[in-house]
Amino acid sequence: HRCEAHHYLDFHCRHIFLTCCEGEEGRTANQDGRHTIRERPPLNFTPPPKKENSICEQQCTPVGGQPQCSCSPGFSLRADGRSCEDTNECLSPHACQLNERCMNTAGSYVCQRPITCPPGYQINNDICEDINECAQRSHNCGDGFDCVNTEGSFRCNPKTRCPVGFSHNMQGRCVDVDECGALTQPCSPGFNCINTMGSYICNRKITCSRGYHASPDGSRCVDVDECQSNVNRCGEGQLCHNLPGSYRCECRTGYQYDSFRRMCVDINECWSYRGRLCAQTCENTPGSYECSCTSGFRLSGDGKNCEDVNECLANLCSQECANVYGSYQCYCRQGYYLKEDGHTCEDIDECSQSIGHLCTYKCVNIPGSYKCACPDYGYTMSPNGRSCRDIDECATGANNCSLAETCYNIQGGYRCLSFTCPANYRKVSDTRCERISCPNYLECQNSPLRITYYYLSFQSNIIIPAQIFRIGPSPAYSGDNIIVSITSGNEENYFSTRKLNAYTGAVFLNRQVQGPRDFLINVEMKLWRQGAFTTFHARLYVFITGNLL
């Protein structure tokens, strides 16, 4: 077989095909003109002749008095150091292109490029040209056939004899001859020539009325389409409608004819059909009209009615939104008020508004509400969330009093108290000392029989004057009489004493004290009973707290 690649294969596929095919043919395709090799000129190199009596095959160079062999370009020195062997340049990077094949030669290499033409083509200046088998008479058409050259091949058409009224075309087929067009005057005057298959006929010419013209065969009258032939007189903006033998000019939809101006003018449908076209707003447009809706509505799918827009879906309100017909209303949650823009909710500062005493100590505004707070130490919030309740650190154990001290709770804190009885007194309880002995009468008259400690706690806002302590004998007897006085601790005259009756006295706070402040006052009571005086001391720890709770 021959290596003939089909012409519909591209260069890459033909190259692969021919490469495989050439391997089978032993590269003998050059003989039939269908496969040629174009070689690149080899490198200009001819190995120099070996010199006589030289130990080197190619080149010898004396180095240090000793001969050293070397090889010409394209060769490499063998292991014996004398002879040279060819270098295969194709195994290393070379200058051949992708569509060329590298072939090693002695001392160089060549690049071969195959050029292959498909069957029916031949190479001419490296270009594949069609072979005209008909002109070269290389076809095999018989005597009864005509050779027709084709691109890359040829075709044999049988020779036929056409009947009268027919002739051969370019493909050798018999086709009808149009005698009406081929002959100068096939019919007499007054007749029309009508071509028929293989012949022609002559028909008498007919006369058609206005708006009609004769058919191509002259046998009948057909309507003239004035709208298509542009012989109508319709004005600008009018539509032409063809009629049998005539035509009619009409205005486009949405227009009407103005006979005075002789032109089509727009119909104002909104004015002509007021209230019947659109549910809300009608706007006239050239040749038509458009319906629209007011704010808060959108046009329905029918293009006429309006439907309510749910503005709340667009999140126009900062908090809550209520959709109403044709509009919407923003409102706020409890603890907020709507600003003048009608969209934004602002927090209400309940603490700054004069709406009553919300908290007994401190009001703290929070978003949407408020909360009451107590001092950082000594108080806790009551269950009502408004008032502060004192923490009894002495009862809860949240104090740092030592074992030798007594914890006393006050508003918002506590005190660690301790006392020692003076000389000649003994401690009979946690709050009382009694005299041990009385050596002489004078000492008994001046020194108290009993010293008792009392702890009092008040807030700074106590109503003045305030009775804070009462003192008297227990039990009291008829004829008893007392004298009450403050002997120490009242240097600023905050306190005073007063007799309520013969055997009862009281201590009063006369002035407001800005707390917190602590006082230790000594109250002396002299009891006259059965002709003798007995002295008693009450030592009052008065704690004034500063927090107005």
Binning pLDDT at 50, 70 and 90, where does residue 481 land? very high
Asked if residue 40 has pLDDT above 50, the reply is: no
Phi, psi (5° rounding) for residue 228?
-85, -30
Predicted confidence at residue 401, as pLDDT, reads 93
- Note whether 390 and 375 are within 8 A (CB): no
Task: Name the CA dihedral angle for 196, 202, 207, 208, rounded to a multiple of 10 degrees.
Answer: -10
Residue 142 banded pLDDT, cuts 50, 70, 90: confident
d(CA 256, CA 142): 77
**Is residue 310 classed as helix, strand or coil in its secondary structure?**
coil
Residue 135 predicted with pLDDT over 80? yes
Tokens for 384?
A: 């009502």
CATH for the 269-309 domain, from 2.10.25.10, 3.40.50.300, 1.10.760.10, 3.30.70.250:
2.10.25.10
Question: At the topology level of CATH, where does 312-347 sit?
Answer: Laminin (2.10.25)
d(CA 527, CA 532): 8
Tokens read off for 402: 């030592």
- Reading the block at residue 82, the tokens are 């004398």
Domain boundaries, the chain: 175-207+215-222, 224-266, 269-309, 312-347, 421-545
520 within 8 A of 541, measured Cβ to Cβ: yes
pLDDT in tens, 89-132: 998 888 888 778 888 998 898 887 777 788 888 888 778 888 99
Q: List the CATH code of the domain at 224-266.
A: 2.10.25.10
The token duo for 428 is: 């009979």
E-assigned strand segments in 294-420: 297-299, 306-308, 320-324, 327-331, 336-338, 345-347, 362-366, 369-373, 379-381, 388-390, 406-410, 413-417
Say which residues have a Cβ less than 8 Å from residue 236's Cβ, sequence separation at least 6: 263
Judging by DSSP bridges, how do beta strands 450-459 and 532-545 pair with one another? parallel
Per-residue pLDDT, averaged over 359-368, amounts to: 90
The pLDDT value given to residue 266:
92
Burial classification of residue 287, based on how many CB atoms lie within 10 Å of its CB (0-12 exposed, 13-18 middle, 19 or more buried) = middle
What's the pTM value of the predicted model, to 2 decimals? 0.42
d(CA 449, CA 529): 14
Cα dist from 79 to 56, 62, 84, 105, 338, whole Å? 13, 19, 9, 21, 103
Q: What is the mean pLDDT of residues 135-150?
A: 83
Q: Among candidates 212, 208, 209, which has minimal Cα distance to 224?
A: 212
Which tokens go with 208? Answer: 């058609």
Confidence of residue 166 (pLDDT cuts 50, 70, 90): confident
Same fold? 312-347, 421-545: no
Domain 421-545 top-level CATH class = mainly beta
Pairing type for strands 327-331 and 320-324 reads antiparallel
DSSP labels for 136-147? Answer: TT-----TTEEE
What is the distance between the alpha carbons of residues 317 and 312, in angstroms, rounded to a whole number? 7
Amino acid at the residue 193: C
| Region of 408 on the Ramachandran plot (φ > 0 left; ψ -120 to 50 alpha; else beta) | beta
502 alpha carbon, distance to own chain's centre = 92
Question: How far, in Å, are 123, 228, 240, 272, 289 from residue 251 at the CA level?
Answer: 70, 17, 9, 17, 17
How far is the first Cα of the chain from the last one, in angstroms, to the nearest whole number?
Answer: 120
Lowest model confidence (mean pLDDT) among 47-56, 79-88, 336-345: 47-56
